[in-house]
Amino acid sequence: MQIDLTKHAWTLQGWLPNTWAWTATQSAADLRRYQCTPEVSAVVPGSVQDDLLAAGLLPDWHVAQNSLQCEWVEHRHWEYATKVELPADWSGKKAILHAEGLDYAGYVLVDGAEVAQFSGSHHPHEFDMTSALADGGVHRLSIIFTEAPHEQPQIGYTSRSRYFKSRFNYGWDWCVRLVPLGIWDKLWLLAEGDVRLNACLPQTDYCTAQGVGSLSLRMQVTSQLAQTLTCRVTLSRDGETVHTQAYPCAYGVGLNETTLPVSTELAVEPWWPVGMGAQPLYELAVALEDASGAVLDTWQGRVGFRSIHWEPCEGAPANAEPWICVVNDVPLFLQGANWVPIRMTYGSVTDDMYPPLLDTYADLGFNLLRVWGGGILEKRAFFEGCDERGLLVWQEFPLSSSGIENVPPDDAEAMKSLAEIVRSYIWRRGAHPSLLCWCGGNELFYDKDLTKPKPVDANHPCIALMAGLSAELAPKTRFLPSSPSGPAMWFDASLAGQGLHHDVHGPWAVPHDMDEWRAYWDAQDALFVSEVGVPACSPAAMLIKYSGGMDPWPPTEDNPYWLYRAPWWIEWEQLRGRYGFSLEVPELERFVEASQEVQAEALSYLVASCKARFPRCGGVMLWHGHDIFPCPSNNSVIDFDGVPKPAALALRKIFKGE
């Protein structure tokens, strides 16, 4: 039994820090009314910023330099409030408030009284609300969010990471600073009886030789009694039962974790990545029953059956990780893109925003999306959409490089937080057939020599922790220590042929001479390229649309429009000589077309080069796929409106062999 609180009417009110808690006297209560923003309607899930924008209290941060006028939001306390009432048939049961995503820290109140505190945006939170709500009356439920934590932007020190809040929001080369707060994912009340099926983690496989699938279940069950129950497992497709079986399961008091080896001979069809075959998905239902056959709790989900293993690249050194992905015994060249949230305020990304964008990726011929470590665990709707389309997912844990220092943290506090996050990620998303691998994070290095950074490996205690948890909970899913990995971060032509280039990153721009670019890729010997890019402008109409009256011409560092919105990707010097641009002659349309032409030419050459080397090279992933912010120029191949740039259309022909 559940109550979906996202369907309730919510309000939002802002406070100077701690003022919401000041109720000592009537005069104090009167005073605090004048220290807050007006109460406005709120959308859950969403973000404080989106609600303030809708109420006219914030400018559109996508426009001009407006994001600077939004940064004050980080330094207030924010109260989301709604009315709740427990149904009469919940009597005798625990009332649990379950939050899939709270951003970032704060308090849960009922009628102004504190019930619980919380901290952390990358894992769910649960609160026992029974005593506060059990009288059957109507109550005011408030969730207070305190100031945003002082996380680091793109440049900093990775070892100092403590909060593990999405770092791109604090400022990155492809977006401005905007740090969201609020209820960013699903929220519900549930009734918990004597038994609760907390979580279920199916593990599947497929045997191509016999044409059968296998299924096992890892379950977390909370029981108030020591008892033996029946666990009934049913696998079906389109309403037709494929397999059903009942298992006796003994549970002790408290939290129990058990594994059921359901079957190794399931008559199922294999799930394939896009372009290789169909994506049949099966409904899996798990029910806990008592001796009388009464259902005490249930779990439902979808699974697919496929085998994935990795083989060495042709000619790879003996110490290299395998980079040829083999799906259902068929080797696959991985042609991917790096994925960031669809919008900076990721809580405002609704389920219906995923299908059009995922369709675009699939239509362009991509078969892999890397969910980058400076962001979030993508929502269930994303993974379900990838399951349905055959898009493989490389999901990273929330660690990223910092420029100055890029070593993962190894102190007890950070490791404890990361362990909780890793477990949560795997339990919540580990069953999806689209999930290809887990990864420790983005560009994590041993920083002895920043000119030749060496990626971390499982010898680092933080990476060892992640690897161990992954092996325990998801033994059939590959774990990678970092992207990139191996002896070197990037390709060095002077070291080609020495077996030093395993999974590499870069470069992210074309030198002045395109011949130099071609020579670089002709000499390339990396086994895998998990990040590489070339910048190109967004459409001229988009540059104007979000200019807020600022002049997009000239596209130089002297223009505040470009310096604020795209300082890393100003291509004036590179394009002026090649195309004959002049500061005195405004040619925004032609400049945009020129940058897009260079991106298309350069990306086409490198992707074709990597694909031609298969199976000496296992794949290539572009940095990055789509824009999260209307950048004037960026490495994306899909713009902020979801429209492919010319480079993406050129790559489609290479990806699909057209």
pLDDT one-digit tens code per residue, 583-626: 999 999 999 999 999 999 999 999 999 999 999 999 999 999 99
Average pLDDT over residues 99-112: 97
Average pLDDT over residues 439-448: 92
End-to-end CA distance of the chain: 52
Residue 534: band (very low, low, confident or very high) from pLDDT cuts 50, 70, 90:
very high
The domain locations on the chain are 2-191, 195-303, 333-546+592-656
pLDDT at 30: 64
Asked if the model's pLDDT at residue 27 lies above 80, the reply is no
pLDDT at 34: 63
Q: Using CA atoms, how far apart are residues 522 and 647, in angstroms rounded to an integer?
A: 20
Supply φ then ψ for residue 58, to 5 degrees.
-135, 145
Q: How far is CA 52 from CA 165, 180, 181, 635, in A?
A: 21, 11, 11, 30
Q: In this structure, are strands 40-42 and 156-157 parallel, antiparallel, or unpaired? A: unpaired
Supply φ then ψ for residue 240, to 5 degrees.
-100, 125
Q: Please answer whether residues 381 and 422 qualify as being in contact, where contact means their C-beta atoms are separated by less than 8 angstroms.
A: no
Asked if the model's pLDDT at residue 449 lies above 80, the reply is no
Residue 33: band (very low, low, confident or very high) from pLDDT cuts 50, 70, 90:
low
Residue 371: band (very low, low, confident or very high) from pLDDT cuts 50, 70, 90:
very high
pLDDT at 21: 87
Q: Give the chain's mean pLDDT.
A: 96
Q: Which of 227, 265, 228 is nearest to 245 (CA)?
A: 265
Asked if the model's pLDDT at residue 28 lies above 90, the reply is no
Asked if the model's pLDDT at residue 24 lies above 60, the reply is no
Compute the residue count for the chain. Answer: 658
Side by side, which strands form the sheet with 227-237?
Answer: 240-251, 227-237, 282-289, 295-303
Asked if the model's pLDDT at residue 25 lies above 70, the reply is no
Supply φ then ψ for residue 650, to 5 degrees.
-70, -40
- When mean pLDDT is compared across 13-22, 54-63, 356-365, 422-431, the lowest value belongs to 13-22
Range 602-638 burial, b when 16+ CB lie within 10 A, else e: bbbbbbbbbbebbbbbbbbbbbbbbbbbbbbbbbbbb
Count of CB atoms within 10 A of residue 359's CB? 14
Q: Using CA atoms, how far apart are residues 328 and 271, in angstroms rounded to an integer?
A: 9
| Burial class of residue 279, CB neighbours in 10 A (0-12, 13-18, 19+) | buried
Q: What's the predicted TM-score (pTM) here?
A: 0.96
Residue 19: band (very low, low, confident or very high) from pLDDT cuts 50, 70, 90:
confident
Alpha-helical regions (H) of 303-342: none
% of the chain residues with pLDDT over 70:
98
pLDDT at 32: 61
Cα dihedral 153, 157, 163, 164 sign: positive
pLDDT one-digit tens code per residue, 275-322: 999 999 999 999 999 999 999 999 999 999 999 999 999 999 999 999
Average pLDDT over residues 190-217: 97
Q: Using CA atoms, how far apart are residues 287 and 292, in angstroms rounded to an integer?
A: 13
Count of CB atoms within 10 A of residue 278's CB? 10
**CATH architecture group of domain 333-546+592-656:** Alpha-Beta Barrel (3.20)
Encoded tokens for 44? 């859950």
pLDDT at 36: 78
Q: How far is CA 604 from CA 76, 536, 647, in A?
A: 47, 14, 7
Q: Which of 507, 535, 394, 530 is nearest to 455 (CA)?
A: 530
Asked if the model's pLDDT at residue 54 lies above 80, the reply is yes
Q: Using CA atoms, how far apart are residues 631 and 629, in angstroms rounded to an integer?
A: 6
Encoded tokens for 377? 């665990």
Q: Using CA atoms, how far apart are residues 125 and 136, in angstroms rounded to an integer?
A: 24
> What is the enclosing helix (H) or strand (E) of 129?
none
Residue 640: band (very low, low, confident or very high) from pLDDT cuts 50, 70, 90:
very high
Residue predicted with more confidence, 38 or 393:
393
Residue 579's contacts (CB-CB under 8 Å, 6 or more residues apart) are: 590, 591, 594
CATH 1.10.3730.10 describes domain 2-191: no
Residue 113's contacts (CB-CB under 8 Å, 6 or more residues apart) are: 132
Q: How far is CA 367 from CA 333, 440, 498, 621, in A?
A: 9, 21, 30, 10
pLDDT at 200: 98
pLDDT at 494: 93
Asked if the model's pLDDT at residue 40 lies above 90, the reply is yes
Q: Please answer whether residues 216 and 263 qualify as being in contact, where contact means their C-beta atoms are separated by less than 8 angstroms.
A: no
Q: Using CA atoms, how far apart are residues 593 and 360, in angstroms rounded to an integer?
A: 22
- When mean pLDDT is compared across 15-24, 149-158, 450-459, 536-545, the lowest value belongs to 15-24
- When mean pLDDT is compared across 511-515, 545-549, 625-629, the lowest value belongs to 511-515
pLDDT one-digit tens code per residue, 504-524: 999 999 987 899 999 999 999
Q: Please answer whether residues 246 and 203 qualify as being in contact, where contact means their C-beta atoms are separated by less than 8 angstroms.
A: no
Residue 447: band (very low, low, confident or very high) from pLDDT cuts 50, 70, 90:
confident
Asked if the model's pLDDT at residue 195 lies above 60, the reply is yes
Alpha-helical regions (H) of 128-169: 130-133
Encoded tokens for 431? 């069953």
pLDDT at 26: 59
Residue 575: band (very low, low, confident or very high) from pLDDT cuts 50, 70, 90:
very high
pLDDT one-digit tens code per residue, 232-261: 999 999 999 999 999 999 999 999 999 999
Side by side, which strands form the sheet with 254-266?
Answer: 195-207, 212-223, 254-266
Asked if the model's pLDDT at residue 525 lies above 60, the reply is yes
**CATH architecture group of domain 195-303:** Sandwich (2.60)
% of the chain residues with pLDDT over 90:
94
